[in-house]
Amino acid sequence: MLHTQTKSLDVESIRKDFPILQRKVHNKPLVYLDNAATSQKPGQVIEAIDFYYKNYNANVHRSIHQLGEEATAKFEEAHQKIADFINADSYQNIVLTKNTTESLNLVAYSLTAGLKKGDEIVISQMEHHSNFVPWQQLAKQRGLKLKFIKIDEEGKLDEESIKENITKNTKIVSITQVSNVLGTINPIEEITKIAHENNAFMVVDGAQAAPHMPIDVKKLDADFYAFSGHKMLGPTGVGVLYGKKELLESMQPFLYGGEMIREVRFEDTKFNELPWKFEAGTPNIIEGIGLGVAIDYLNEAGMKQVHERDKELVEYAMERLKEIKGVAIYGPKERGAVASFNVHGIHAHDVSQVLDSEGVAIRAGHHCCMPLMSVLGVAATARASFYLYNTEQEIDTFINAIHKVKKVFGV
Amino acid sequence: MMYQENILDHYKSPRNFGRIGNATVHHHEYNPLCGDEIELYLVIDENKKVIDVKFYGRGCAISLASASMLTEQIKGKTLDELKNMTKEDILEMLGIPISPVRLKCALLSLDTLKNSILIFEKYVRK
């Protein structure tokens, strides 16, 4: 792999690192445009997983033997790599979970435990179910009030609605950095300022942001930041929760059991230090190590370059989509690497099905955003999402496939 | 290929599409995964035979074509005959390969029919 921090990405050489891109689907070359659902994995990550199981598979933090020490060192190193990736102070700020959903549940359970009836939580209309349902259900259980920042016609958070909703009664604000449907990039720094002026905690769903742009949790100043490994070239089964140290220290653990304890007596238990206090049971050792390797890969490519490349791809895709009569595109012009659309008169599932027959993989449905779908007034959308290994040529194949959809359906 | 001519024909010009004001039973099913919706209206005579049927809804080509074709089969059949209809009958009726993820779309109309019959037997004609 020969790409430097200053030059743009060498897409040709990047593509060679992803074995799955050689695959054919229905006898056509795979065009994988479902990266917002999960990304593909480079050989480096796949080999690291293989190497672990063949060479140093052991449990961490307990086994006094060579393999145990090697596994522990690698697992801890992965926490440090993740911390550096988002500019956190220390590995102690990094809790490994199963996925973004679990990270957000952890925060939601722990933070709402200290709230009183009538306290308010503010989220937005564009939240993914993972940053929606936990707050909604805990608000119901604990008598809290859940409020929603509205989106404007373009699909951005409405500035007036942000100010109206975040008040002195607000205790928690939880917002996605990049919408998985609209692609909207939300002004997290500004919203965090408003949340903090009102003494509320700021939680960020970074699932669609961390894989695609440089993240600096210090600059954002958010109290919590959640994301998933599998959307950023890593394996499934590992998510991240970043939290400010003093907050993580003051919070009750979310899961109890082994690994998260320092001392257990019949009467009571002392919890382990951070971050292990939140990683109960045998953790996702190889998934964590694999995510570390994925981060190495992204660092070598350069997150600035990844972000620039994403922009080129999504802008090209939007331009080409606009050429097609009867295609409606959702979301603002400035956006992350997703393009949601509908073809007039054809259900998104049918669009996706015909695209699949051309080897093109996209997502169709409500994208785990049913409340947002109701705001947009649609049952479903089709969504193409891009990553560093995609090419303009693949987007051309995708566009040609949409013309085929229209032909099949005679519209 | 899933989108054969007869499927597209039923999708674009669904048979028995509409509503019946004085239906004996009317039931609405929803598939939240795709946002497909089917409303089924049945007129059932004293011999428990379906003498008229209409459906209304929105959805993908598979779910709407399946509903349209099913209404053609329903008319004139007794509830007992309809109760015996299976997933296999629907797949045979469609005559196209249905991938596992699209099975829900294909079977939404059958679910609506089965639940309509249950409602009829429980609440309309005790």
Any CB–CB contact under 8 A between B3 and chain A?
yes
Q: Which of A239, A213, A242 is nearest to A225 (CA)?
A: A242
Number of cross-chain residue pairs from A and B with Cβ atoms under 8 Å apart = 45
Length of chain A equals: 411
| CA atoms of B41 and B64, how far apart (whole Å) | 15
Task: pLDDT band for A137, please (50, 70, 90 cuts).
Answer: very high
pLDDT at res. B126: 57
Which residue of A349, A378, A381 to mutate against B (max B Cβ within 10 Å)?
A349
Q: What is the pLDDT of residues A79-114, one digit of tens each?
A: 999 999 999 999 999 999 999 999 999 999 999 998
Q: Which of A405, A379, A380 is nearest to A326 (CA)?
A: A405
Q: Answer whether A349 sits within 8 Å of B12, measured CB to CB.
A: no
Tokens of A372: 């947002």
Collapse the DSSP code of B43 into the 3-class scheme (helix H, G, I; strand E, B; otherwise coil) and give the result.
strand
Q: Which residue of B has its CA nearest to A369?
A: B33
> Where do we find the tokens 């049971």?
A281
pLDDT at res. A149: 98
Q: Rounded to a whole number, what is the distance in Å from the CA of B59 to chain A's nearest CA?
A: 6
- Choose the closest CB to B35 out of A346, A354, A366: A366
Q: Which residues of B touch A365 (CB under 8 A)?
A: 33-34
Q: Which residues of A touch B1 (CB under 8 A)?
A: 357
Q: What is the pLDDT of residues B36-62, one digit of tens each?
A: 899 999 999 999 999 999 999 999 999
Question: What's the CA angle centered on A316, arms A313 and A322, to 5 degrees?
Answer: 135
Q: How far is CA A367 from CA A39, A127, A150, A380, B76, in A?
A: 16, 10, 19, 8, 41
Q: Answer whether B105 sits within 8 Å of A349, measured CB to CB.
A: yes
- Choose the closest CB to A347 out of B8, B12, B60: B60
Mean pLDDT calculated for residue range A33-38: 98
Task: pLDDT band for B25, please (50, 70, 90 cuts).
Answer: very high
A242: amino acid identity, one letter? Y
Q: Rounded to a whole number, what is the distance in Å from the CA of A400 to chain B's nearest CA?
A: 18
Q: Rounded to a whole number, what is the distance in Å from the CA of B121 to chain A's nearest CA?
A: 32
B97 near B24, Cβ under 8 Å? no
A224 near A242, Cβ under 8 Å? yes
Q: What is the pLDDT of residues A151-193, one digit of tens each?
A: 999 999 999 999 999 999 999 999 999 999 999 999 999 999 9
pLDDT at residue A2 tops 70: no
Any CB–CB contact under 8 A between B59 and chain A?
yes
Q: Answer whether A379 sits within 8 Å of B2, measured CB to CB.
A: no
Q: Which residue of B has its CA nearest to A349?
A: B60
More reliable by pLDDT, A225 or B102: A225
- Choose the closest CB to A379 out of B12, B35, B105: B35
Catalytically active residues of A, by annotation: 368
Q: Which residues of A touch B3 (CB under 8 A)?
A: 350, 353-354, 408-409
A121: amino acid identity, one letter? I
| CA atoms of A188 and A170, how far apart (whole Å) | 17
Q: Answer whether B35 sits within 8 Å of A408, measured CB to CB.
A: no
Q: What residues does each domain of chain B span?
A: 5-124
pLDDT at res. A296: 98
Q: How far is CA A15 from the centre of its chain?
A: 22
User: Which one-letter DSSP state was computed for residue A274?
Assistant: T
Query: Whole-prediction pTM value?
Result: 0.93
Q: Give the gyration radius of chain A's Cα atoms.
A: 22
Q: Answer whether B34 sits within 8 Å of A380, measured CB to CB.
A: yes
Q: Which residues of A touch B35 (CB under 8 A)?
A: 366, 373, 378-380
Q: What is the pLDDT of residues A53-67, one digit of tens each?
A: 999 999 999 889 999
- Choose the closest CB to A380 out of B3, B35, B62: B35
Which residue(s) pair with A203 in the sheet?
A174, A224
Q: Which of A104, A96, A90 is nearest to A277 (CA)?
A: A96
pLDDT at res. A3: 46
Q: Answer whether A347 sits within 8 Å of B2, measured CB to CB.
A: no
Maximum Cα–Cα distance across chain A: 72
Any CB–CB contact under 8 A between B13 and chain A?
no
Q: Which residue of A has its CA nearest to B98?
A: A353
What percent of chain A has pLDDT above 70?
99
Region for B58 from its dihedrals, namely left if φ exceeds 0, alpha if ψ lies in -120 to 50, beta otherwise: beta
Q: What is the pLDDT of residues A194-225, one digit of tens each?
A: 999 999 999 999 999 999 999 999 999 999 99
pLDDT at residue A344 tops 80: yes
| CA atoms of A385 and A401, how far apart (whole Å) | 16
Q: Which residue of A has its CA nearest to B102?
A: A349
Task: pLDDT band for A10, please (50, 70, 90 cuts).
Answer: very high
pLDDT at res. A6: 52
- Choose the closest CB to A408 out of B3, B35, B62: B3
In 3-state terms chain B splits into helix, strand, coil percentages (rounded to 5) of: 50, 20, 30
Q: Which residues of B touch A354 (CB under 8 A)?
A: 3
pLDDT at res. B32: 78
Q: Rounded to a whole number, what is the distance in Å from the CA of A350 to chain B's nearest CA?
A: 6
| CA atoms of B35 and B16, how far apart (whole Å) | 21
Q: Mind listing the domains of chain A with CATH numbers?
A: 11-32+302-409 (3.90.1150.10), 47-300 (3.40.640.10)
Q: Which residues of A touch B65 (CB under 8 A)?
A: none
pLDDT at residue A325 tops 80: yes
Q: Answer whether A354 sits within 8 Å of B34, measured CB to CB.
A: no
A311 near A390, Cβ under 8 Å? no
Which of the following CATH numbers is that of domain B5-124: 3.50.50.60, 3.40.50.150, 3.90.1010.10, 3.30.365.10? 3.90.1010.10
Which residue(s) pair with A95 in the sheet?
A241
Neighbouring CB atoms inside 10 A of A143's CB total 11
Mean pLDDT calculated for residue range A251-272: 93
End-to-end CA distance of chain B: 45
